Amino acid sequence: MTAGSGPQEVTDREASGTGSANYTGAVYGSLLAASVVAGAGSAGPYPRLELVLLLICTGLVFWAAHVYAGFVGDRLRGGRVTWHEIRQVCVREWPIVQAALLPAAAVAVSPLLGLGPEGAAWLALVIAIAQQVAWAGAAVIRVGASRWAVVSVGIVNLVLGLVIVAAKVALQH
């Protein structure tokens, strides 16, 4: 909400994250990436490469699952799906994959920062959580939410990320 204006109407596209940026997919994908990093072990011969591939592959699998689920839902409502609609759904859900790319890149460049595999995983986890909080904040700012709403959304997303951090610490492998 801007100064001097009334509540801004949220369109169905904005609420569902299907406007010009899919904030829902970006937040979800960031949370997914954080979960992957927290759950990944570093026992293999190439732990960094394995984590990069795990992040990207998991993002792609969840993206495909979301695309498929969207079409199943459309079929339940009836009607035919066109190639244009398929492309739209694929593009709309792509931020799920994009959210995995920055944590994966952090793992890939971690040797340049002098980090071992465990440090690389923590860096990726911090980046995934930070982007999750940032995307959630951007979403509520975009729809004109109050400062309190922006702060609240940031806190909720930070807490979700910290739950993942706590799980990683508790289940250290």
Model confidence pLDDT, tens digit, residues 102-126? 999 999 999 999 999 999 999 999 9
Q: DSSP letter string over 29-98?
A: HHHHHHHHHHH----SSSHHHHHHHHHHHHHHHHHHHHHHHHHHHHHHH-SPPPHHHHHHHHHHHTHHHH
Question: pLDDT digits over 36-63, tens only?
Answer: 988 887 667 788 999 999 999 999 999 9
| Average pLDDT of the residues of the chain | 83
Q: How confident is the model at residue 74 (pLDDT cuts 50, 70, 90)?
A: low
